[in-house]
Homo-oligomer: A and B are copies of this chain.
Amino acid sequence: MVWNTNLRWRLPVTCLLLQVALVVLFGVFVRYDSDADPHWIDSKMQQNSTSDLENEFYYRYPSFQDVHVMIFVGFGFLMTFLQRYGYSSVGFNFLLAAFGIQWALLMQGWFHSYHQGYIHVGVENLINADFCVGSVCVAFGAVLGKVSPVQLLIMTLFQVTLFSVNEYILLSLLEVKDAGGSMTIHTFGAYFGLTVTWILYRPSLHQSKERQSAVYHSDLFAMIGTLFLWMYWPSFNSAVSNHGDAQHRAAINTYCSLAACVLTSVAMSSALHKKGKLDMVHIQNATLAGGVAVGTAAEMMLMPYGSLIVGFICGIVSTLGFVYLTPFLESRLRIQDTCGIHNLHGIPGIIGGIVGAVTASCASSDVYGVKGLAIAFGFDGFKTNWNASMQGKFQAAGIFVSLAMALVGGIIVGIILKLPFWGQPADENCFEDSVYWEMPEEPKSTVLHPEDSTLKPSEP
């Protein structure tokens, strides 16, 4: 199949149309929330607050910046492992995320921050917009190398919309707790992406097989992404939790889970190689599964050892997935999952949903305290008559809703992306930057010379 990959008018027009629409919608709908408005001084005095620190900014901004790094450097560089797709990995991720966060501010704003005709944005909205885009970055991992930037913008437009609907159903209708987004971000993002790539199946993709692997330095660039994701994941899972002990606990649980996950990933990677050697793909990906899988339960009383167990299991499951499941999905189910997101976000996301449901259903006032339990699950509001067991059931329902939204949405979006005029690359040109990027000239001879012998003498 051969398509026209010249994006000269399609990409600029798409970008400019979307951005103009965003400007108009922001003009009509978006205002600052009270903590970011100059009238804050008045409300501070009314509330007898003595300290500027009570501004939400100081509670959330450091976490926001960590999440921001995860989205742009973390996901962006994680995908640079491909030898000839570094520009696109970092660059397209940059593009789709920059568009996605704006659209997410609107979509999530309409559902959650809409008062008196306006969306009121503050730092928590910025975090949630980054979260939403995180789910698009996950899906990007499945289709990486096989789609054009125009397709990615279209996919982002729809996925952010669907994400927001799904999130609204889970958080507002089902009253599910999902601070780190095991269900809303990872499960939804992964199965959405897998469905899209299934629809976009390319039977002759083996023609660009040689570029679908790493070279030495591309693997090191990818480790930059891995480590920034790994290090800042405690901020990710705690960023929008309740103030105080909930944020604190979410960070500790995530830290523990991720640490355990590294050891079991390494163990499995070595055990599954005939000479006991480690595989960079596992170190780059499976080590992160522990963060995904405590996304829902991190702010609950999972306990440090519970977090270790979750990380322990996910490191094993994720590495096994890379070795056995990804090839199976490709050969039997025709699902070409470039980055193996099924192993990093799909299965661990579902595990995370289940862990969250079980942990919630085990909650009791013995463990949380009477007041603590009410605050942790919102049992003090209109959920007065709820109990832990009900919460657990609704949590479990959240998993299925997310899966259903991902599958149905993925099919629709996949079909739209299959249209022949989005500038997608031919099968033999996949995973290749030069389709969409002006490439630097290769240096004529060896670029490096040990001593300046080739330099003209500087001294007479």
Q: Say whether B223 contacts A90, CB under 8 Å.
A: yes
Number of interface residues, chain A, beta carbon within 8 A: 167
Q: Tell me how far the C-beta of A335 lies from the nearest C-beta in chain B, rounded to whole angstroms.
A: 24
- From A324-332, A399-407, A449-457, give the one contacting chain B: A449-457
Within 8 A of B (CB), among A335-389: 367-369, 371-373, 375-376
Q: Tell me how far the C-beta of A62 lies from the nearest C-beta in chain B, rounded to whole angstroms.
A: 4
Closest-by-CB residue of B relative to A214 is B440
Closest-by-CB residue of B relative to A235 is B65
Q: Tell me how far the C-beta of A247 lies from the nearest C-beta in chain B, rounded to whole angstroms.
A: 6
Q: Tell me how far the C-beta of A59 lies from the nearest C-beta in chain B, rounded to whole angstroms.
A: 7
Q: Say whether B428 contacts A456, CB under 8 Å.
A: yes
Q: Say whether A249 contacts B15, CB under 8 Å.
A: no
In the bound complex, residues from chain B placing their C-beta under 8 Å from that of A41 are: 244-245, 369, 371-372, 375
CA distance A125 to B442 in the complex (A): 45
Q: Tell me how far the C-beta of A228 lies from the nearest C-beta in chain B, rounded to whole angstroms.
A: 7
Q: Say whether B436 contacts A98, CB under 8 Å.
A: no
In the bound complex, residues from chain B placing their C-beta under 8 Å from that of A55 are: 243-245, 247-248
Copies in the complex: 3
In the assembled complex, A448 has its CB within 8 A of some CB on chain B? yes
Q: DSSP majority for the A interface?
A: helix
In the assembled complex, A320 has its CB within 8 A of some CB on chain B? no
In the assembled complex, A194 has its CB within 8 A of some CB on chain B? no
Q: Say whether A57 contacts B15, CB under 8 Å.
A: no
Q: Tell me how far the C-beta of A180 lies from the nearest C-beta in chain B, rounded to whole angstroms.
A: 16
CA distance A65 to B232 in the complex (A): 7
In the bound complex, residues from chain B placing their C-beta under 8 Å from that of A367 are: 38
CA distance A69 to B228 in the complex (A): 8
CA distance A75 to B432 in the complex (A): 28
In the bound complex, residues from chain B placing their C-beta under 8 Å from that of A215 are: 440, 442-443, 447-448
Within 8 A of B (CB), among A243-275: 243-249, 251-252, 255-256, 258-264, 266-268, 270-271, 273-275
CA distance A367 to B440 in the complex (A): 50
